[in-house]
């Protein structure tokens, strides 16, 4: 016997199979399923086996014909059961459903099956609800590559009417090693270290002012210079400011891995905002 389980999840359909399926079961059920496919488009299917004992030969043939006809109409198929042969049936079905994802779940993990089916729908829903950029940050090192990235950032900020901040992180001089031990064998004058960091910030602020002036734009730009470890400093700043887009300039090389330098790569893996790499050929300069 085949029964539809009432579902209110967009394009997801749930079906319970019990006993031994006959050709008559399929002749009643498949037209209904085909109607649902026409109504919803590409669907996700939960197929729950409940005291299931297989098909008779005519039903199996009808099932195979329907599956071949609708190969591209399924996004994900979750098969839920409690018998080892049901698992192998799901495994064997995968090569015939090339455009679909097929996964088997034990009955005790029914909730996991639903979560897996809803996963793509939640992603698509969040993609439909994308908000316009509000806070854009460009990480700058005062190079020509940074200047090129800033030009792109200004275009985007104007389009989205977003705030635009240029950020430079001065690498902090610290008197201790990674493990908290003093650097060297002699006593380190902390006043000297503090003065070095202050001089680094002052120099960066001077460069930042000249850099912003050189952009020659009437768009309001906020410039920030902070001191710290570069990777973490950028991530911390992005999080504190609720930044939704961080932009980096980079020299264009072959291969995306070469394009993504160590800093953008770290930020991409440790922040929640979107990352834009603006590549440029060296010959442009």
Name which of 41-45, 156-160, 214-218, 259-263 the model is least confident about: 259-263
Q: In percent, how much of the chain has pLDDT > 90?
A: 29
Q: In the prediction, which pLDDT does 128 show?
A: 59
pLDDT, position 57: 60
* pLDDT of the residue at 276: 95
Mean of the per-residue pLDDT values of the chain: 78
Would you say 137 and 240 are in contact if contact means Cβ atoms under 8 Å apart? no
Lowest-confidence segment of 36-50, 118-132, 164-178, 186-200 by average pLDDT: 118-132
Cα 36 to Cα 148: distance, rounded to the nearest angstrom = 51
> 62 near 29, Cβ under 8 Å?
no
What confidence tens digit (pLDDT) does each residue in 20-30 have?
777 787 778 77
Neighbouring CB atoms inside 10 A of 254's CB total 7
Average pLDDT over residues 113-129: 69
Query: What confidence score (pLDDT) does residue 88 get?
Result: 46
Comparing CA positions, the residue from 70, 61, 78, 59 lying closest to residue 36 is 70
Residue 236 confidence (pLDDT) above 60 = yes
As a whole number, mean pLDDT of residues 38-64 equals: 71
d(CA 16, CA 36): 16
More confident residue, 39 or 122: 39
Domains in the chain: ranges and CATH: 2-127 (3.40.50.10600), 135-284 (3.40.50.620)
**Whether the predicted pLDDT of 257 surpasses 50:** no
Q: Which two tokens stand for residue 93?
A: 């079905």
Of 53-67, 101-115, 246-260, which gets the smallest average pLDDT? 53-67
Supply the pTM of this predicted model. Answer: 0.55
Residue-wise DSSP of 125-145: HHHHTPPPP-EEEEE--SSHH
Number of H helices, E strands in the chain: 9, 10
State the pLDDT at residue 134. Answer: 94
Distance CA 248, CA 63 (A): 53
pLDDT value of position 56: 67
Residue 256 has pLDDT above 50, yes or no: no
First to last CA, the chain: 72
Q: Which residues pair with 171 in a beta bridge?
A: 228
Task: Band the pLDDT of 175: cuts 50, 70, 90.
Answer: low
Stretch 255-273: mean pLDDT, rounded?
73
pLDDT in tens, 64-73: 565 555 556 7
Contact 81, 49 (CB under 8 A): yes
Check if the beta carbon of residue 100 is closer than 8 Å to that of residue 75: yes
Which pLDDT band holds residue 96 (cuts at 50, 70, 90)?
A: very low
Mean pLDDT of 96-114: 73
Burial class (CB in 10 A: 0-12, 13-18, 19+), 25: buried
Q: Which residue has the higher pLDDT, 155 or 280?
A: 155
279 within 8 A of 251, measured Cβ to Cβ: yes
pLDDT higher than 60, residue 232:
yes
Here the tokens at position 149 are: 């990235």
Cβ-contact 222, 164 below 8 angstroms: yes
Distance between CA 155 and CA 273 in Å, rounded? Answer: 19
Cβ atoms within 10 Å of 180's Cβ, excluding its own: 6
In which residue are the tokens 């200004």 written? 154
Of 5-9, 159-163, 198-202, least confident by mean pLDDT is 5-9
Check residue 212 and give left, alpha or beta (phi > 0: left; psi -120 to 50: alpha). alpha
Q: How far apart are CA 220 and CA 164, in angstroms?
A: 7
Q: For residue 214, what are its two tokens?
A: 């050189």
Going through 1-152 in order, the beta strands assigned E by DSSP cover 2-5, 12-21, 43-55, 74-81, 101-106, 135-139
- pLDDT category at 9 given cuts 50, 70, 90 is low
């Amino acid at each position: 016997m085949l029964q539809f389980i009432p579902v209110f999840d967009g394009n997801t359909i749930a079906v319970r199979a019990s006993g031994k399926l006959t050709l008559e079961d399929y002749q009643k059920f498949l037209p209904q399923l085909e109607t649902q496919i026409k109504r919803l488009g590409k669907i996700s299917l939960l197929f729950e086996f409940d005291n299931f004992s297989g098909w008779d030969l005519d039903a199996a043939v009808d099932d195979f014909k329907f599956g071949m006809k609708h190969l591209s109409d399924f996004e994900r198929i979750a098969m839920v059961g409690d018998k080892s042969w049901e698992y192998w049936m799901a495994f064997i079905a995968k090569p015939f459903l090339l455009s679909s994802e097929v996964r088997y779940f034990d009955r005790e993990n029914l909730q996991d099956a639903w979560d897996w089916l809803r996963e793509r729908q939640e992603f698509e829903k969040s993609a439909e609800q994308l908000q316009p950029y509000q806070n854009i940050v460009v990480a700058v090192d005062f190079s020509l590559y940074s200047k090129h990235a800033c030009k792109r950032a200004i275009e985007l900020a104007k389009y989205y009417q977003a705030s635009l901040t240029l950020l430079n992180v001065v690498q902090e001089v610290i008197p201790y090693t990674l493990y908290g031990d003093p650097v060297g064998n002699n006593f380190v004058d902390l006043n000297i270290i503090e003065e070095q960091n202050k001089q680094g910030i002052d120099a960066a602020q001077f460069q930042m002012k000249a850099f912003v002036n050189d952009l020659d734009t009437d768009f309001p730009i906020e410039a920030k210079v902070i001191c710290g470890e570069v990777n973490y400093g950028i991530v911390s700043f992005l999080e504190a400011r609720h930044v939704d887009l961080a932009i980096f300039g980079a020299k264009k090389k072959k291969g995306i891995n070469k394009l993504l330098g160590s800093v953008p790569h770290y930020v991409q893996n440790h922040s929640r905002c979107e990352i834009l790499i603006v590549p440029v050929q060296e010959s442009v300069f």
